[in-house]
Amino acid sequence: MPPLLPRPALLLPRRGITAPATLSRRTSLFSTSAARPSTPQRIPPESPLFINVPNPPQDQSIEALRELKPVKGHLPIPRQVFKHRDSHLKPEKAWLSKSAPRPTSAKSQQPPRSEVQAWKRRMAASRRENMRVGIRALYKRKQLRDTRRAAAQAAKLAAHQEAAAAPEREDDRLTRATINAATLQTAVIRDPERFERALASRERTTALLAQKSERRRDAIQELYMKARSFIVDEADLEAEVNKIFAPDYWKSMGLSASGFEVRNIWDLHGKPPTVTDILNEVSRTSSTAVKSFEAEKTRTLKRQKEVAEELTGGKLDEESDKD
């Protein structure tokens, strides 16, 4: 193990003692702190040593704090001797006699046979006495500490209550910002028409539920009316496929409205209108004009369809109209 070097703090000379040149040179070599300047020109203006003022005895300034030796290590955490609920019984004589009982054997009642045995008995008695004195002193200290803590807490609580109940100071009242009186009224005023609004809302909700129920009933009735044309087995599917994909399917439709032979769906219903045609038609005519140019047969069919739907309670498709 290499030899330990002396600490730099031990190499500094005390006040009033002149160190030799060798010690000063060693101090400059091993010291970790900056040496105090010898001339005032090296001291910056922000330093407390910029103005040379003699230090009085028992000074608590920076110079006095520099001479204090650092305290090494740390204090251990004290043990809570009176931690449990029955800890107040520890200062009692019964607890002390039970914790450190006196010897009761026949050998201990006899006089000591040697100086060592007498010394051991004295040490045992001293330990029992130290424990008794220490426990009682610690308990008195705990009682004093609890009393002081309770007094401090009571004083703090009384000060807080007094500050909370104290009237407003005059400077606070004079410097307080002006607040509109209506702003301070934060109470929520109940709507006087709340019952009428609730009844109107109930009526609207009932009407909406009735509309939904009517639409659902119409949808079920329409599904029931269209169920007769559903394909439910493979035979019906094969028959429908053979019918639609037959080579003479369009010829079986007969003639179109213009009298020509039907060869595709465009010949039967005409070409689909473009977006431009639809916009021009909407901008040129209205719904009233369309109804005025509608054929009498078409209007009769529509009226019959509406009557049939009202009687059956469901929607009818185009095949039902033709039937």
Tokens of 106: 């026949």
Band of the pLDDT at 77, cuts 50, 70, 90?
A: confident
What would the mean pLDDT of 224-239 be, rounded to a whole number? 89
| Buried b or exposed e, range 220-253, using 16+ CB within 10 angstroms | ebbeebeeeeeeeeeeeeeeeeeeeeeeeebeee
Distance of alpha carbon 136 from alpha carbon 90, whole angstroms: 8
| Average pLDDT for the chain | 79
**Looking at the whole model, is its pTM more than 0.85?**
no
pLDDT mean over 137-147: 94
Q: Which residues of 157-170 are buried (b: 16+ CB within 10 A; e: fewer)?
A: eeeeeeeeeeeeee
Residue 206, H or E segment: helix 194-226
More confident residue, 196 or 19: 196
Name the burial class of residue 312, with classes exposed (0-12), middle (13-18) and buried (19+) by CB atoms within 10 angstroms of its CB: middle
Q: How far apart are CA 124 and CA 101, in angstroms?
A: 10
Residues in the chain: 323
Position 226 pLDDT exceeds 90: no
pLDDT (tens digit, 9 = 90+) per residue, 23-68?
Answer: 444 444 444 444 454 444 688 888 878 888 776 666 565 555 566 6
pLDDT band at 267 (very low <50, low <70, confident <90, very high): confident
